[in-house]
């Protein structure tokens, strides 16, 4: 009994090295395709993770920039502040007690008011400035007194009105007790020889006679 021609042909093909070469090539091609698909999936996952990490880092960097924004140009702002402070000391802080008293006298004459029972004292010495207090009775018409007060507040010498109290009014004349502060450099305050501000002189109603000058 003879073998089938088709069966013989298949056996010949299976025995052929070319057939096995094609089969091996096909298997390698499938493995390559599978590896490429897996690599593509891993690459996509890695790229997504990297994008998330990059976005997180960018957010952190932006937050740090916002936090440090007030510090930008801090050195220049400090220099400007120091320059302004130095100019303030030079222009508005008097250099002696006599400069303070003479200026207040000038403002009083220009306003038409009368100053009486004037008392000057100095507070505890500070690191850069020492407070000088002037307590006085002011008498005159209401417009003249207001003119004097406005002149104190607007004067180039730095005067700070701390308190005022009405002590009487008669025949159109108003009497006030006024408490004003200005400042001297500590060395200038010591040179002035003014007495220390007593505790009871913290209000306009004080009656201390330290440093009293009647005008």
Contact between residue 120 and residue 103 where contact means Cβ atoms under 8 Å apart: no
Burial string for 82-99 (b: 16+ CB within 10 Å, else e) reads eeeeeeeeeeebbeebee
Number of H helices, E strands in the chain: 6, 5
- Token representation of residue 91: 């222009």
The reply to whether CATH 3.30.70.60 applies to domain 94-213 is: yes
Which pLDDT score is estimated for 29?
Answer: 75
Residue 4 is classified by DSSP as P
**pTM (2 decimals)?**
0.58
Q: Per-residue confidence at 38, pLDDT binned at 50, 70, 90?
A: confident
Q: What is the mean pLDDT of the chain?
A: 80
Q: Which of 69-78, 81-90, 170-179, 187-196 has the lowest mean pLDDT?
A: 69-78
pLDDT tens track for 48-93 = 666 777 777 778 777 777 777 776 776 787 788 888 888 888 888 9
Domain range list for the chain: 5-66, 94-213
Q: In sequence order, which residues have a C-beta less than 8 Å from that of residue 182 and are 6 or more positions away?
A: 93, 94, 100, 131, 132, 134, 157, 158, 159, 160
């Amino acid at each position: 009994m003879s073998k089938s021609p088709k069966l013989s042909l298949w056996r010949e093909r299976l025995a052929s090295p070319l057939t096995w070469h094609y089969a091996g090539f096909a298997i390698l091609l499938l493995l390559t395709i599978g590896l490429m698909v897996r690599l593509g999936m891993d690459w996509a996952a890695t790229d997504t993770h990297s994008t998330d990490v990059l976005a997180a880092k960018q957010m952190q960097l932006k937050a740090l920039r916002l936090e440090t924004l007030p510090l930008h140009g801090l050195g220049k702002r400090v220099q400007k502040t120091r320059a302004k402070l130095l100019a303030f000391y030079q222009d508005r802080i008097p250099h002696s007690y006599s400069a303070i008293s003479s200026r207040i006298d000038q403002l009083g004459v220009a306003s038409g008011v009368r100053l009486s029972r004037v008392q000057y004292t100095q507070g505890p010495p500070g690191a850069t400035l020492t407070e000088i207090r002037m307590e006085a009775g002011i008498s005159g018409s209401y417009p003249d007194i207001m003119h004097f007060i406005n002149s104190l507040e607007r004067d180039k010498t730095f005067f700070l009105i701390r308190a005022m109290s009405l002590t009487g009014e008669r025949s159109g004349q108003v009497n006030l007790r006024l408490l004003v502060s200005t400042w001297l450099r500590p060395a200038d305050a010591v040179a002035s020889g003014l007495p220390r501000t007593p505790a009871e002189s913290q209000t306009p109603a004080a009656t201390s006679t330290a440093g009293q000058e009647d005008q």
